[in-house]
Amino acid sequence: MGRRERRSCETRERIFRAAMNLFRDHGFHKTTVANITEAADVGKGTFFNYFRTKEHVLLVLGEIQLAKYDRALRMAQDGDARSALHWLYHALPAEAGSSPDMVRSLVTVFMTSEEVRAFLSAGLARGRAKLAEVFEAALRRDEIPAHHKPAAVAFRFQQSIFGSMVLWTLQTPVPSMEKWLDSGFDFFWAGVSAQPEVKK
């Protein structure tokens, strides 16, 4: 990558990080493009060179998440699926930091913006396809019982993470995210790895 491309990537990343911090502190709907450009120290023209709208900033989040699915798949192919999935269970919510407000803000925009919901759904589908490959690796190594369908288990994995994060924001006081996610993953894995009862 040349100097110009590196600078372009750095600028895009700076805008994204500034926007995510503002979404966390003030909420998505209260954050304006002007707020983002001021926080990122760029002009509005520069912002629109990279993002068509404020909503499109979240496309970067989608790219980051998809890269995590790719990494988990490589980990599962090189090692055991459980370790890869445990890492992914913690990695996917990481962009929200340890902020319940950020999670609430992101959930709100996902539910209220049809455009954001559309590319979120597409990203989740691509992530599930990668996850299905992880569970196929788990099946080959007998880490999970043979009756499981990888695509169905992949959906339940995403469901478990989303549910864990939403419920985490409702706790008072808010518990450690790491411990909360460990508990959620352990519960998920106990279910998916359990051998079915043999009927007598």
59 has a pLDDT exceeding 80? yes
Cα–Cα distances (Å) from 126 to 47, 53, 64, 80, in that order, read 27, 23, 13, 22
Tell me which residue has tokens 């990558």.
Answer: 1
Topology classification of domain 56-193: Tetracycline Repressor; domain 2 (1.10.357)
pLDDT value of residue 101:
86
Span 4-50, pLDDT tens digits? 888 999 999 999 999 999 988 888 889 999 999 999 999 999 999 99
Q: What angle do CA 42, 44, 47 make, to 5 degrees?
A: 70
179 has a pLDDT exceeding 70? yes
The contacts of residue 128 (CB under 8 Å, 6+ apart) are 151, 154, 155, 158
pLDDT value of residue 4:
86
181 has a pLDDT exceeding 70? yes
Return the CATH number of the domain spanning residue range 3-51: 1.10.10.60
Local confidence band at 198 (pLDDT 50, 70, 90 cut-offs):
low
Write down the H helix ranges in 3-113.
Answer: 3-26, 33-40, 44-50, 58-78, 81-91, 100-112
Local confidence band at 96 (pLDDT 50, 70, 90 cut-offs):
confident
Per-domain residue ranges for the chain? Answer: 3-51, 56-193
Residue 167 buriedness (CB in 10 A; 0-12 / 13-18 / 19+)? exposed
Please state the rounded mean pLDDT for residues 110-114. 87
